[in-house]
């Protein structure tokens, strides 16, 4: 039996519920919103399968309602042989994926206790299903290359003060040509508190900064609010207190 057939069979038979979670990109989940996009430290870690929550791209996995389990069925697995299954079971440190067209080792990004696949989306989709079926819900990838992203002190203080009741986060879809800046940076997200008195804040990227929404003049308020539609589900997310705690871990 070719390795890909065994992997697809494992995905169908596996009882682990995390395979039925939606397969989201990092941008869709907005997982990185509160993290500095510069810096970070590379380490090697054992990473539990259930902690890998997002991917860099979905490409052929972009159908509505796509889950980790369903995504396995979209894998081609050309030239995947038994070496692929041995790869999943072994240490991944400095190890390339066996198929000849793979040139880089698996790389994940860590955001608190949540992980994003930065390089190796197909192999992680396959490996999650096969390892979970073989070894259960506590299975893990061994010695993965991981870039640990950081929440700076200012943002961490904000989350501690305002995150205990949850937050709403919206993409602003602003660009430099809109000429709306906070300390020379474009506000990428609008943050709203979930407790009275409801307050709004703006969040910039690269080195994250939190600013009160009322720092902007009313015309710029209008531009942001018009471009931040709560009717478009891919433009906003509700962050639970548990989620906020997880990304600070």
Say whether 211 sits in a helix, a strand or coil: strand
Task: Give the whole-angstrom CA distance, residue 164 versus residue 160.
Answer: 7
What strands lie across the sheet with 236-239, from one edge to the other? 210-212, 200-204, 187-193, 167-171, 236-239
Choosing from 132, 148, 164, the residue where a domain stops is 148
Mean pLDDT value across the chain = 89
Based on the fold, state whether residues 57 and 85 are members of the same structural domain.
yes
Among the residue ranges 13-17, 18-22, 38-42, 154-158, the one predicted with the least confidence is 38-42
Residue whose C-alpha is closest to residue 128's, from 146, 111, 144: 144
Q: In the prediction, which pLDDT does 180 show?
A: 80
Are the CB atoms for 220 and 196 separated by under 8 Å? no
Q: Which domain holds residue 87?
A: 3-148
Q: What's the number of domains the chain is made of?
A: 2
Based on the fold, state whether residues 133 and 216 are members of the same structural domain.
no
Among the residue ranges 11-20, 37-46, 221-230, the one predicted with the least confidence is 221-230
pLDDT range class, residue 109, cuts 50, 70, 90: very high
Choosing from 148, 176, 191, the residue where a domain stops is 148
Q: In the prediction, which pLDDT does 67 show?
A: 97
Based on the fold, state whether residues 34 and 143 are members of the same structural domain.
yes
Looking at residue 199, the DSSP 8-state letter turns out to be: -
Choosing from 93, 121, 148, the residue where a domain stops is 148
Based on the fold, state whether residues 117 and 235 are members of the same structural domain.
no
Based on the fold, state whether residues 61 and 136 are members of the same structural domain.
yes
Based on the fold, state whether residues 135 and 216 are members of the same structural domain.
no
Q: What's the predicted TM-score (pTM) here?
A: 0.89
Based on the fold, state whether residues 128 and 190 are members of the same structural domain.
no
Structural tokens at position 119: 């390089």
Q: Are strands 210-212 and 52-55 parallel, antiparallel or unpaired?
A: unpaired
Are the CB atoms for 92 and 99 separated by under 8 Å? no
HSE, CB side, 13 Å, CA atoms: give it for residue 126: 25
Q: In the prediction, which pLDDT does 232 show?
A: 61
Residue whose C-alpha is closest to residue 70's, from 28, 114, 19: 19
Based on the fold, state whether residues 26 and 141 are members of the same structural domain.
yes
Based on the fold, state whether residues 139 and 183 are members of the same structural domain.
no
Based on the fold, state whether residues 12 and 52 are members of the same structural domain.
yes
Based on the fold, state whether residues 243 and 131 are members of the same structural domain.
no
Q: In the prediction, which pLDDT does 227 show?
A: 61
Based on the fold, state whether residues 29 and 114 are members of the same structural domain.
yes
């Amino acid at each position: 039996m070719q390795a890909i057939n065994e992997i697809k069979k494992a995905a169908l038979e596996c009882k682990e519920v995390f395979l039925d979670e939606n397969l989201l990109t990092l941008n869709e989940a907005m997982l990185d919103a509160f993290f500095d996009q510069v810096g970070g430290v590379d380490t090697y870690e054992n990473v539990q399968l259930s902690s890998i929550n997002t991917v860099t791209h979905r490409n052929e996995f972009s159908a509505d309602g796509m889950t980790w389990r369903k995504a396995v069925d979209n894998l081609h697995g050309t030239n995947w042989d038994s070496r692929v299954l041995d790869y999943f079971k072994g240490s991944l440190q400095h190890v390339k994926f066996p198929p000849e067209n793979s040139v880089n080792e698996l790389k994940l990004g860590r955001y608190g206790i949540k992980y994003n696949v930065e390089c190796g989306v197909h192999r992680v989709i396959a490996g999650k299903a096969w390892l979970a079926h073989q070894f259960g819900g506590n299975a893990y990838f061994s010695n993965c290359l991981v870039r640990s992203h950081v929440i700076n002190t200012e943002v961490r203080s904000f989350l501690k003060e305002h995150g205990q009741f949850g937050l709403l986060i919206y993409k602003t879809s602003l660009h430099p040509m809109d000429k709306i800046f906070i300390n020379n940076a474009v506000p990428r997200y609008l943050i709203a508190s979930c407790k009275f008195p409801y307050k709004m804040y703006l969040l910039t990227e690269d080195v994250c900064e939190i600013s009160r929404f009322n720092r902007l003049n009313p015309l710029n308020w209008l531009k942001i609010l018009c471009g931040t539609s709560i009717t478009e589900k891919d433009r906003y997310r509700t962050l639970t207190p548990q989620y906020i705690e997880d990304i600070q871990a």
